[in-house]
Structure 1
Amino acid sequence: MNDDEQRQGAQGEPDFEEQLRELLAEDAYTIQPSPAPYPAIRRRGVVERRRRVAAAGAVLVTLAAMPVGAYALSGGGSGGGVATTPTPSVSATRVPSPTPSPTPSGPARPATDGQLLDGITFERAADGLEKCLAYQRSGAMAGDTDPGTPQDYGIVLAMRSTGDSNTPGDGMYVVAVREKPEEIYLICNIKNGETQGITGFGNDADVIPDEGPVLIDPNGGKLYQQSLLDRGNWKLPFRWAVIGSVRPSVAKVTVSYGDSSAEAVLDHGRFVASGVLNQQVTLAPHVKGYDADGKLVYDSDEDKYYQRTLP
């Protein structure tokens, strides 16, 4: 090989490496990610987490469908682990949900029948929750902390889930809460009888000093938005929901979203609102809270921690 050929070869190697890095960066958003530890139910650093949640959500929503959601249960009691960025894996595969083992009793019913939507019965929602917990315990996405049994939880919401380019196929969302030893919310997604995703998070209502009387949970964004891949072209009509916490001073919560609106159900310090969207939107749900005298005490447009625009 002469000097010119050697120089051309040396120049070609960096070009190849650069192209490879670009391809890997692109594939990070299309290949299936490996399991990540179940969230942070630890309260340390909550303020910063809420400030970053919109950006983090924009990244997570672009990931391809995974066996379970962005998080899985991790140990440590009140000092649990922190959320980490998923590491892509080219060999991850979906594992069918195991058959749930019998439990002494099921979860508690929601405060109203209006929290069971789209014809989903309580029995079906309870079965879905049991499948999600069994999936967690099975080792398919096991962490250091046992998620408990259905009887430890109360169902807060059950509704249909709309498939999109990120997670094709319609299914069902079940939202449940466990009160003790520490309040934990679970959002489970089930399709064709199999667990598709589990997201878990704690109640941050008493953590942020300047938090208002209404806290819209930033981890519940998947309930009111579709994949970033489908931005501007959502599948409609779209069943949406907003969940969060309220202080005792709040007597009423309303939510408007695109061409739909709803008055939330207040359920033991939590609120749940839902509706059906028939138009494409760019703004997140607008949430307002009122006291017993009808005075406006919270407006999400004035909440510095709430992301008003969708990713």
Structure 2
Amino acid sequence: MNDDERREGARSDPDFEERLRELLAEDAYTIRPSPAPYPAIRRRGLVERRRRVAAAGAVLVTLAAMPVGAYALSGGGAGRGVATTPTPSVSATRAPSPTPSPTPSGPARPATEGQLLDGITFEQAVEGLEKCLAYDQSHSRPPEFDNDLGTADSYRIILAMNSTGDSNASGDGMYVVAVQGKPQQTRLICRISDGEAVGLNTSSGNDADVIPDEGPVFVDPNNGKLYQQSVIDRGNWKLPFRWGLIGTVKPSVAKVTVSYGDSSAEAVFDHGWFVASGVLNEQVTLAPHIKGYDADGKLIYDSDDDKYYERTLP
């Protein structure tokens, strides 16, 4: 059918023209597709953008977690490939570090070797002190008596000597006496028997605790265990008996002497403390007799005149 025949048919059929318009409209719809769904595309784009950001963040976290040396092995900069033969970075060198110079540790030695008695070495005294402090940590005390004694390296050992066992403390052993800080700070007397700490006596204080009318020599009120045996054995002590005596002195004191039964000794001074010792060969009922002298030899202290000193044994 040619164009003239179509036109003639359209004029003879009134509905033909309407059907033709519908057909042309359908063909046009087929040729021009529907508009793209923009909201769906925008959502897909946002999701993809977030995925890329998350991936980039994961890479940054991985790099941050890698050590500097590992980053150096991968090349480090842009445009560099991964090294097939890694070169260790500076932080991965195996050069030995310099050996630090030794630093002093442990308790301080006594002022004189004569304060380590009966063949006891300084190393043995240190070991005894450490056992005493461990003993203190392993035994609980009432809160009002709770006082951290610190570590061994904060002490000075001022006396180590044999201890004679008695009815109250069986077995021989040794005593270790150590002080911490000033004379008014911490003092401990510990007994070691069979390699174990079996008893500990401590005292502590500060400058404000000084007795108002205290004399130039002050005998430690708790050092009786160093120069006497058990009261149960009074008059029947084991002899010979190694005894010791400690206390504090003021700067005005130049000399301290101690007499005890058939023995006598001149004390040594050690950072504000005096330390005396001897060997007793007879039964006694009187405590050691202490005298203090100034630089001119003048008697400035006598324990017989000291109201705080107990002159007889219990």
Do Structure 1 and Structure 2 share a fold, with TM-score over 0.5? Answer: yes
> What corresponds to 2:132 in structure 1?
132
- Please tell me the residue identity of whatever aligns with 2:130: E
> What corresponds to 1:295 in structure 2?
298
**TM-score, structure 1 as length reference:** 0.64
Between the aligned partners of 2:297 and 2:111, the Cα distance in structure 1 is 23
1:1-311 superposed matches below 5 A? 105-139=105-139, 144-179=146-181, 183-202=185-204, 207-311=210-314
Between the aligned partners of 2:184 and 2:307, the Cα distance in structure 1 is 27
The C-alpha deviation readout for 1:203-242, integer Å capped at 9, x for no partner, is: 6886211111000111000000000000010000000011
Between the aligned partners of 1:180 and 1:261, the Cα distance in structure 2 is 28
- Please tell me the residue identity of whatever aligns with 1:303: D
Structure 1 stretches of at least 4 aligned residues deviating more than 4 Å after TM superposition: 139-143, 203-206
The C-alpha deviation readout for 1:129-166, integer Å capped at 9, x for no partner, is: 00111122234669643321110100010000000111
The C-alpha deviation readout for 1:180-224, integer Å capped at 9, x for no partner, is: 796100000000111110100136886211111000111000000
- Please tell me the residue identity of whatever aligns with 1:197: G
- Please tell me the residue identity of whatever aligns with 1:157: L
The structure-2 alpha-carbon separation of the partners of 1:224 and 1:191, relative to structure 1 and needing over 3 Å to count, comes to same
The structure-2 alpha-carbon separation of the partners of 1:182 and 1:238, relative to structure 1 and needing over 3 Å to count, comes to closer
**What secondary structure, in the 3-state scheme, does the structure 2 residue paired with 1:174 have?**
strand
Which sections of structure 2, spanning at least 5 residues, go unmatched? 1-103
Which sections of structure 1, spanning at least 5 residues, go unmatched? 1-103
State percent identity of aligned pairs.
Answer: 73
Alignment check: 8 A CA contact 1:116 1:122 kept: yes
Alignment check: 8 A CA contact 2:184 2:206 kept: no
CA-based RMSD = 2.1
Alignment check: 8 A CA contact 1:135 1:141 kept: no
**What secondary structure, in the 3-state scheme, does the structure 2 residue paired with 1:219 have?**
coil
What number of residue pairs does the alignment pair up?
209
Return the offset for 1:105. Answer: 2.3
- Between stretches 137-146 and 289-298, larger displacement belongs to 137-146
Between the aligned partners of 1:253 and 1:304, the Cα distance in structure 2 is 18
Between the aligned partners of 2:107 and 2:301, the Cα distance in structure 1 is 32
